[in-house]
Amino acid sequence: MTTNAANLKILHLGVDDCGLESYFRVLVDCQKVKYISIDGGIYDTDDLCFPPALLSKLPPLPPGDWNLAHIAKSSETTKPHFAWSVQKAFRGITHAWHATKVDYLSLSLGKMLMANVYEASSAHFDTPVIAKLARFPWEIDYYEAETEAYAWIEGHGIGPRFLGHLTEEGRIIGFLLERVEGRHAVIGDLSACRAVVSKLHDLGIVHGDLNKHNFLVFESRVVLLDFETAVRSEDTDAMDRELRMLEQQLRNESGKGAIVTVSPELEAELSEINRRDGGCCDELLEQARKGKITITGEQNREMLKRQRGEPTT
């Protein structure tokens, strides 16, 4: 099997510009999703971030049945080669509570809203939907918790409708939501926002990230978004704090939680920073919106600690 633009498409990329491994989610022959890691220093960062350039330089794909492979450069040859390839049983989301399952390859992805969130179309639905997915195996845990949270709030009018699970080779890698056309909340929506948060608390759930961009207002309704940090809890103090801080969050103009629309190159950089540091601070996301990231890894980690109220060095 040879590598060329006709049989290989890069779906997602996580590029490291510090000399470590980079990761790619690829589609082979329009049929199979596979994962490729590449040792640092083999290709220029510009080539790694630009699929047409990278595809022209990759070695021939390994033969046989595999879904994970690694490109290296040995001391015996100066040419990059696939050092190994294996068939691995990747872990998927286990909380499969909804009856509908939609294969990733059946979707037509549209506008990228965030690194892992897209507008999408599917033959299963009459109107466009929102797809939220783990692009790489290590992201599964983020969406395991959120998938379960949507089961808790099902039928209570708190969040957008959960339409089904998103699958890849049978394993669950994400989910589909109704596409809500609305605006983010402002201070004038305080009463309606308090009402929907109170409904969440009545179910014994603390959201954990009530910023203004996690509320959507439409047709005189308010829905909550992003339940990655939601937990079942009897902590009434935590619930009271969420309600008390709501006015401050709706007045906040920092941009925390806002949708970040960036180039594929910056998407790759944000993905790698998130993997390396466990998140992206508000200042870094603001730089991404403006098109260039200059904050160092050390600065990002320190700012994240401050945002989370953790001790800093």
User: At 210, which amino acid appears?
Assistant: L
- DSSP letter string, 244-278: HHHHHHHH--S-TT------HHHHHHHHHHHHHHS
pLDDT band at 289 (very low <50, low <70, confident <90, very high): low
Q: What is the DSSP letter of 115?
A: T
| Residues 164 and 175 sit within 8 Å (Cβ to Cβ) | yes
The whole-angstrom separation of Cα 247 and Cα 65 is 55
Task: Over range 288-313, report the average pLDDT.
Answer: 68
Can you give the C-alpha Rg of the chain in angstroms? 21
Is pLDDT larger for residue 250 or for residue 289? 250
Residue type, 300: N
Residue 161 DSSP one-character state: P
Quick: pLDDT tens for 85-126: 999 999 999 999 999 999 999 999 998 888 789 999 999 999
CA quadruple 16, 21, 25, 26: dihedral sign:
positive
The confidence score (pLDDT) of residue 307 equals 56
Whether residue 215 has pLDDT greater than 70? yes
Cα–Cα distance, 93 to 175 (Å, whole number)? 10
User: Which tokens in the block code for residue 213?
Assistant: 């961009």
Q: What percent of the chain has pLDDT over 90?
A: 56
Name residue 83's amino acid. Answer: A
Q: Reduce the DSSP state of residue 239 to 3 states and report it.
A: helix
What is residue 127's DSSP assignment? S
- Asked whether the beta carbons of 225 and 196 are under 8 A apart, the reply is no
* Alpha carbons 246 and 69: distance in angstroms, whole number: 47
> pLDDT tens digits, residue range 235-244?
999 999 999 9
Percent of the chain with pLDDT over 70: 82
Q: Smallest Cα–Cα separation from 73: which of 105, 41, 33, 44?
A: 41
pLDDT above 80 (res 170): yes
Taking only the tens place, the pLDDT of each residue in 143-155 is 999 999 999 999 9
pLDDT digits (tens, 9 = 90+) for 25-65: 999 998 999 999 999 989 988 898 888 889 989 999 999 99
In sequence order, the β-bridge partners of residue 166 are 102, 174
Owner of token pair 């992201």: 139
Tokens for 229?
């940090």
Can you give the pTM of this predicted structure?
A: 0.78
Phi first, then psi, for residue 35 (nearest 5°) are -125, 135
